[in-house]
Amino acid sequence: MNLEAFTPWSSLAGGLLIGLAATLMLVFNGRVAGISGIYGSAITGSDPAPWRWAFVGGLIAGGALMLPLVPELFTVAYDRTPWMVAVAGLLVGVGTRYGSGCTSGHGVCGMSRLSRRSIVATLTFVAAGAATVTLVRILGGAS
């Protein structure tokens, strides 16, 4: 672990902003800020409410605004092939659908409401991630 890369103030600010956004979403919209649910309902048309598209657009716009300001945040260095990244993304998407949500919905919003279902889902996400990393490291991954 590289402790030189640890940024406590940025991490605290980011956590506070995520918490504030999740709280405002719940208070003003009566909805949990689960990114996969918001995005999924927008693109499938099951609930094409304009606020869903504004939320997704805000995520994209936030990244687009940060790119020229702090380009090093967007530097990605990994030793996986593009097909491995694509398969991993597909598996995350499938898992999100089967788990009825993602870490933002379950891990941030559900756990803060002490939802048993969200606590179990988040523990499952973490265990699956730890098992995957361990397996990839044992097998050596692909370069």
Map 27-55 to HEC letters. HHHCCCCCHHHHHHHHHHCCCCCHHHHHH
Apex 40 CA angle, 37 and 111, nearest 5:
15
Look at residue 130 in the predicted model and tell me its pLDDT.
92
Residues contacting 95, CB < 8 A, separation 6+: 125, 128
Encode pLDDT of 42-63 as tens digits.
888 887 788 889 988 998 999 9
**Which alpha helices (H) appear in 46-115, and where do they start and end?**
50-69, 82-98, 111-112
Distance in angstroms (rounded) separating the CA atoms of residues 106 and 113: 10
Q: Residue-wise pLDDT tens for the chain (143 aa)?
A: 455 677 888 889 988 998 898 889 889 888 888 888 888 888 888 877 888 899 889 989 999 999 999 888 888 777 778 888 898 888 888 888 887 888 778 888 888 889 899 999 899 888 988 998 898 888 876 54
* pLDDT value at residue 129: 86
Coil vs helix vs strand at 101: coil
pLDDT at res. 141: 62
Question: In angstroms, what CA-CA distances link 65 with 4, 56, 58, 61, 71?
Answer: 26, 14, 10, 6, 10
| pLDDT at residue 3 in the model | 55
Output the pLDDT for position 133. 86
